[in-house]
Structure 1
Amino acid sequence: MPVKKDFLEILACPKCKGKLELNEQENGLICRPCKLVYEIRDEIPIMLISEAKALEESVAP
């Protein structure tokens, strides 16, 4: 089960406090200004900057 939309609305990027969006696979949260992806494991977003991965350029806006 993916992250609920209302829960997604209250989450913010821990680095810039910007808005996050769910990726197409629904297994990560994207922060476009920081170009980071926060992984979702077992339906729990891992909101640690040190755990974030670089956003690939192939991800569409």
Structure 2
Amino acid sequence: MKKVLEIISYLALALIVVAPSLFYAQKIDLAMNKLLMTSATVVWFATAIFWMGREKKEG
């Protein structure tokens, strides 16, 4: 499960980079850019919480 959440969060981060690039290339409009970036940010925060963090100490 941790690996799946990790992959989803990395895909969301990639979308945060791709969306403005598509807007700059005039492939999407500003409203779509805002929607994609907001959605990707929410997904990243929702998934990264579960796998990022401190390593558990042994002993």
TM-score higher than 0.5 = no
Q: Shorter chain as normaliser: what TM range?
A: under 0.3
Question: Would you tell me which structure has more helix in proportion to its own residues?
Answer: 2
Question: Would you tell me which structure has more strand in proportion to its own residues?
Answer: 1
Larger radius of gyration: 2
Relative to the length of structure 2, the TM-score reads 0.22
